[in-house]
A and B are shown apart, each in its own frame.
Chain A
């Protein structure tokens, strides 16, 4: 079999992302606006519950929340979408031969696009609230790339396993629910008990949210050690994901339906 390069399939990636967007909000009144409704509603709810206890510790708690929600949302929505990207397309996988990894890449990219839209609205709010913007905001781009690679790597593992183990979807939902509380989405890192901080920082999403907040909210560059640790953990997850995927991809057509 001639192994065709993924580069020849850029149009497929684009078509998959576009069809995904079309499908998600087809026949809805607000259409694409729904992408923005969810993070803002979540922000309002969390603000109502926690703003009092955060007083004095966090300034502009609403903006603090939004930055956390946007970056946590990318991980949570992206991995969920990537998880089912293979089994949802089993019909075509059984009929057409193309690099299967494209399905996971497209799912992750579609979530990245969503995140970028949320982020651009966030930036407008940011300028309105703070009336200024610093050059450190540009650090958000490498952080986004890191998070994309994290979503992709996690998605590669999840999608391969999900083809043969259907319990994974509920398990992953629970894991994300726990992750939401085990990641500094609505509280600062200083709230974490020092005894567990070592384990806590193993979560690569924590590193990403901390760095994103520094760029967006605190106007400082990420710490070199923090960036390196996150880069290493993301690389390990991506490499593991790629290996698992390549190992299992030929068995997808024979998997569960």
Chain B
């Protein structure tokens, strides 16, 4: 059975542009902007569909349309079942009133009777972890508490279709764990989930299918791997385009610096079969290939790279010199591989820096700071943390 069906959906906004006049006399000219255009999508009951795309690609608009908040300007939407969800952070009903009042108000907006909310009240409060704060004004809640509060009400009203907009990437580890459990519970019960997130790692871990939106249109629909590869390809293509679009600036920017005596022209991430990829398996093979071009013969250049988690913590930062691997010289074009046979990282999104320095590792020739992104998947249920430490057990009696 189809839970949500979008047929040629188009949603239009009017955006103001500066017109004649100055200061408070300024008049605006309104131009139509298609936030969504000719979107066709069908979500089956019990499916978990992730929606990804750059900022402003129409992800939240799509969820708002499914929630019935925005009416289609063209096309049609068909929704079967009760929809609940969190669109945007912090529901901010009445910040001056207590959490208790807000729970009842929020639930009744979702169509829940007060007596039913009464029954679920303790569960909502417990799930949100705000047992001691039910009489506290919402205005005095921390942003984490607000988030947990909103999520807790939305999932505890027993929806058939759950919409989640960028909620999982916030909140602490413990709450994230709890939310995932709740989401798996939903999935077992055969409920439909539509989730928007920039956290590709988490979206990959529980979605059956992804949709990539690009400027209000569906660019690709398909399996998690296919769509994420397409997305990462699109992102790196765009950032490369941006670099060359502004001559002069491209050579030195916030993300890239160095004398360019040796230039890193392309970085390719290769999977087990040598194909370029964006998603890698835990325990599998991954190769970082840096294509360089040296204007003159440079003796003993030092190549390096660094891997960061999504919060910007550096996980590892090896270079050829520290690893005792001597690169005799670089001249003209060539490439160097960093080969990981057994990828120790667990599921998530990672950022990658690459660089080439002089023999003293003092003078940067070319440094790309966290310009590349990749994803790891394949974590087992019992795996914890972000990295598998290469070690073994020994038991002595």
List the B side residues contacting A93 at CB < 8 Å. 69
Encode B82-111 as 1/0 by CB contact (under 8 A) with A.
Answer: 010011100111101100010011101111
List the B side residues contacting A12 at CB < 8 Å. 105, 108-109, 111
Known A4-B111, A94-B87, A98-B109; contact A15-B104, beta-carbon cutoff 8 A? yes
Q: Which of A18-26, A38-46, A177-185, A190-198 contacts B (4 or more CB under 8 A)?
A: A18-26
**Count class of interface residues, chain A:** 20 to 34
* A8 contacts chain B at the CB level, 8 A cutoff: yes
List the B side residues contacting A95 at CB < 8 Å. 69, 86-88, 91
Check A11 against B69 for contact (C-beta < 8 Å). Answer: no
Check B69 against A15 for contact (C-beta < 8 Å). Answer: no
* A97 contacts chain B at the CB level, 8 A cutoff: yes
* B71 contacts chain A at the CB level, 8 A cutoff: yes
C-alpha spacing A254/B34, complex, angstroms? 13
Check B88 against A94 for contact (C-beta < 8 Å). Answer: yes
Check B91 against A11 for contact (C-beta < 8 Å). Answer: no
Q: How distant is A31 from chain B, measured CB to nearest CB, in Å?
A: 15
Q: How distant is B16 from chain A, measured CB to nearest CB, in Å?
A: 10
Chain B residue with the shortest CB-CB distance to A98: B109
Check A2 against B79 for contact (C-beta < 8 Å). Answer: yes
C-alpha spacing A250/B72, complex, angstroms? 9
Chain B residue with the shortest CB-CB distance to A2: B79
List the B side residues contacting A253 at CB < 8 Å. 64, 69-70
* B67 contacts chain A at the CB level, 8 A cutoff: yes
Check B14 against A254 for contact (C-beta < 8 Å). Answer: yes
C-alpha spacing A16/B108, complex, angstroms? 9
List the A side residues contacting B92 at CB < 8 Å. 91-92
* A96 contacts chain B at the CB level, 8 A cutoff: yes
Of B64, B69, B79, B101, chain A has the most CB atoms within 10 Å of the CB of B69
C-alpha spacing A19/B79, complex, angstroms? 32
Known A15-B114, A250-B71, A254-B14; contact A94-B97, beta-carbon cutoff 8 A? no
List the A side residues contacting B93 at CB < 8 Å. 91-92
* A121 contacts chain B at the CB level, 8 A cutoff: no
Query: Of A16, A250, A254, which is within 8 A of B105 by CB?
Result: A16
* B13 contacts chain A at the CB level, 8 A cutoff: yes
B101-126 residues with Cβ-Cβ distance < 8 A to A are 101, 104-106, 108-114
Check B83 against A97 for contact (C-beta < 8 Å). Answer: yes
* A29 contacts chain B at the CB level, 8 A cutoff: no
Check A96 against B109 for contact (C-beta < 8 Å). Answer: yes
* A9 contacts chain B at the CB level, 8 A cutoff: yes
Q: How distant is B112 from chain A, measured CB to nearest CB, in Å?
A: 8
Known A22-B97, A254-B13; contact A97-B68, beta-carbon cutoff 8 A? yes
Check B69 against A19 for contact (C-beta < 8 Å). Answer: no
Check B111 against A19 for contact (C-beta < 8 Å). Answer: no
Q: How distant is A254 from chain B, measured CB to nearest CB, in Å?
A: 6
C-alpha spacing A12/B79, complex, angstroms? 23
Chain B residue with the shortest CB-CB distance to A4: B111
Chain A residue with the shortest CB-CB distance to B88: A95
* A1 contacts chain B at the CB level, 8 A cutoff: yes
* B305 contacts chain A at the CB level, 8 A cutoff: no
Check A11 against B113 for contact (C-beta < 8 Å). Answer: yes
Q: How distant is B151 from chain A, measured CB to nearest CB, in Å?
A: 13
* B287 contacts chain A at the CB level, 8 A cutoff: no
B24-61 residues with Cβ-Cβ distance < 8 A to A are none
Q: How distant is B146 from chain A, measured CB to nearest CB, in Å?
A: 13
List the A side residues contacting B110 at CB < 8 Å. 96, 98
* B77 contacts chain A at the CB level, 8 A cutoff: yes
C-alpha spacing A48/B108, complex, angstroms? 48
Given A96-B87, A96-B110, 19 additional A-B pairs, CB 8 A = A1-B77, A1-B79, A11-B113, A11-B114, A12-B105, A12-B108, A15-B104, A19-B94, A19-B101, A22-B97, A92-B91, A92-B93, A94-B88, A96-B69, A96-B91, A96-B106, A97-B69, A98-B110, A254-B70
30 chain-A/chain-B pairs, Cβ below 8 angstroms: A1-B68, A1-B77, A4-B111, A9-B111, A11-B112, A12-B105, A12-B111, A15-B104, A15-B108, A15-B114, A18-B101, A19-B94, A19-B97, A22-B97, A23-B96, A91-B92, A92-B91, A92-B93, A92-B109, A94-B64, A94-B69, A94-B87, A94-B88, A95-B69, A96-B67, A96-B69, A97-B68, A97-B69, A250-B71, A253-B64
Chain A residues with CB under 8 Å of chain B are 1-2, 4, 8-9, 11-12, 14-16, 18-19, 22-23, 26, 91-98, 250, 253-254
Nearest 10 A/B pairs, CB to CB: A12-B108, A250-B71, A97-B68, A11-B114, A1-B68, A95-B87, A11-B108, A96-B109, A15-B105, A98-B109
